[in-house]
Amino acid sequence: MTEEGVVATPSRGSWWQVSIGSYGNLLVIAVVAVATLFWLSTYVIIHYFSRDVFTSVLYAGVEPCWPGVPTIGYHCFGDFSVMRLVVFSADPWDVPGVGTWNYPASGMIPSLIFIAIGKLVGSDKAGLLLYLGAAMVSLAFPAYWAARYRPLTARIVIWSSFGILSVPTLMALDRGNVVAFAVPAIMIAVFAFARGANATAVIALSAAALVKPQFAFAVLAFLIVARYRWFFISIGAVIVSNLAAFLLWPAHFPSTLVKAVNGILFFGNGGTSGLTRVGPPTNSSIAEGIYLVEFWTRQALGLDAKHTFVAAHDTLVSGIAVVLVVAAIWFARRRMSPALLIAMLFLISAIAVPTTFTYYYVAALPVAAVVLRDPTAPVHADSRVFTGVLDQGSTPRWPVMIASVFLILTLAVTVSRIVLATPVVPNTPYVQTNGELLGIQWVVAVLWFCLAVRLTRRRESELAA
């Protein structure tokens, strides 16, 4: 029987070690293979079918730019540009022409800093370029950490495939979204939590929740591993830090707090209370994936596909899925690496909101990083084998192997994409991708992996007895 907190993999000298080497190596192979398929299919679809693949993958639809905002060519990096219109207002949640504002006060701070720098130097474009540079460095941090101490060739592959050329990274940069700045905080929280540095983990988790409040969901990691004191400390830190950020816009507090909460809760449905947020082409949430399964099932059975249960109850369905995932993680907690446990919680928290765009999958980059490199294990400078949290232990167990492979394939199609020539909407240049199914795929991957790990451990206990 292996030690607690360890996932079993095949023993040294087995066919796995000879042909693949490690789960980390398998992830690199899978991502490179999917990326190669993506670029080949992109060439064919653009050249032969005249479809707009890049817009379909990054952000379906071309949006107009506001007058006076900094641009590069015709592109205005929409999420950053709209910040320029609101951050210097006394009440950013009530600016005419902007619509429902779904950012908390803390989420505007990164943009505020770089917009202020641009105004200070007299060039809004300088502020934009500095913002994009800082965002790129933030997004590349997990790949840099995972590739550290590796040979140069391996580092280049990791930096490109899991860093600057990954689809979530490109979309976060394309939109200029602040979620990019949460990635280093998530990464630090992951390996601090794995190493038992609870205070550092709380600080990093609070920093991630400042950028996007849903990342506060990861405080459950402390509860799951029975670090109860730090669980309550982390809750307090998240609440206090998020409320303190509203002091930057004190004029209409606390009404601004109410407006911010409403904007977050009702984002994607026009600010009303109806649950109609499922369905936009770029939605990659858990609810969207479940909705599509129900939609296609109804179509196949000849039933009404226009009015579905999930579309009417997306928040409820998403909540049930999240509860099942958390229960599965708790069920397998003694058998999982703490790094993988909290990284999964960060990712699930990112895609639990019924309207989730692809850039939120930057939360998958820390998951990929810990699969490539175990934060609690030393790395040999000359090692050409990527050994991460899935490569601990020495006992081969097929259920865990199969579940781990599916988890790795899910990571691969998240970091890259699968595209089809089929239009997402008739008579438009935008094509179908696997992005809309990523939410449900991740739910299945996490549930399957956790159950396989836990049931394998139970079987080992019975055999040992």
- Gap between the Cα atoms of 148 and 28, Å rounded: 15
Helix or strand run (H / E) with residue 398: helix 398-415
Radius of gyration of the chain (CA): 22
* Minimum mean pLDDT range among 62-71, 147-156, 236-245, 453-462: 453-462
Higher pLDDT, 300 or 278: 300
Supply the mean pLDDT for the chain. Answer: 82
Parallel, antiparallel, or unpaired for β 419-423 and 431-433? antiparallel
What burial letters (b/e) apply to 58-90, b meaning 16+ CB within 10 Å?
Answer: bbbeeeeeeeebbeeeeebbbbbbbbbbbbeee
Task: Tell me how far the alpha carbon of residue 438 is from its chain's centroid.
Answer: 10
User: What are the φ and ψ backbone dihedral angles of 322, each rounded to 5 degrees?
Assistant: -65, -40
With vertex at residue 345, the alpha carbon angle to CA 232 and CA 22, rounded to the nearest 5 degrees, is: 130
Cα separation, 141 vs 236, in Å, equals: 27
Question: 261 pLDDT band (50/70/90 cuts)?
Answer: confident
Q: What mean pLDDT is predicted for residues 395-403?
A: 78
CA–CA separation, 52 and 369 (whole Å): 31
Higher per-residue confidence, 426 vs 322: 322
Least confident range from 75-79, 366-370, 461-465: namely 461-465
**pLDDT at residue 6 greater than cutoff 50:** no
2: closest CA among 392, 405, 414?
392
Q: Is 30 helix (H, G, I), strand (E, B) or coil?
A: helix
24-46 pLDDT tens trace? 889 999 999 999 999 899 888 88
pLDDT digits 0-9 by tens, 306-334: 777 888 888 888 899 999 999 999 999 88
Query: If you average pLDDT over each of 14-23, 173-182, 376-385, 423-432, which comes out highest?
Result: 173-182
Which pLDDT score is estimated for 100?
64
